[in-house]
Amino acid sequence: MSSINPNEDISELAKQLWALGDPVRLQILRLLPNEPVCHKACNVSKIAEQIGLSQPATSHHLRILRQAGFISNQKKCRDMIYWIDQEAASAVNAQLREVLG
């Protein structure tokens, strides 16, 4: 029988909060849709233009958000598009509420 280690949960939450703790990444999250639909699609070029960063810098921030589980991506509509993973965002929100009481 395996049990979930509370310390591992806290470490994972800390990594996720670190990913959110950057103003650029928060800006990116504000731009992204909640679902992968073409008419709301956000690709690297569109995101970079809206936040005023280069495409490589924007890709770096998107990678951090993706690795933290906050966003998903898929090749669609001729581009790689990004959107917020609502399930993951809700899980982090719940964990943070648990920590804060």
Could you list the pLDDT tens digit for every one of the 101 residues in the chain?
444 566 778 888 999 999 999 999 999 999 999 988 888 889 999 999 999 999 999 999 999 999 999 999 999 878 899 999 999 899 999 998 988 98
CATH number, domain with residue 16: 1.10.10.10
State residue 28's pLDDT score. Answer: 97
State residue 6's pLDDT score. Answer: 64
Q: Please check whether residue 47 lies inside any domain of the structure.
A: yes
Q: Please check whether residue 63 lies inside any domain of the structure.
A: yes
Distance CA 81, CA 101 (A): 36
State residue 4's pLDDT score. Answer: 53
Position of tokens 């598009």?
81
Q: Please check whether residue 1 lies inside any domain of the structure.
A: no
State residue 1's pLDDT score. Answer: 40
Residue 48 in tokens: 């970079």
Q: Please check whether residue 85 lies inside any domain of the structure.
A: yes
Position of tokens 């648990």?
98
Nearest to 42 by CA among 70, 84, 10, 100: 84
Host domain of residue 71: 6-100
Q: Please check whether residue 21 lies inside any domain of the structure.
A: yes
Number of domains in the chain: 1
State residue 5's pLDDT score. Answer: 63
Q: Please check whether residue 80 lies inside any domain of the structure.
A: yes
Structure letter (DSSP) for residue 69: T
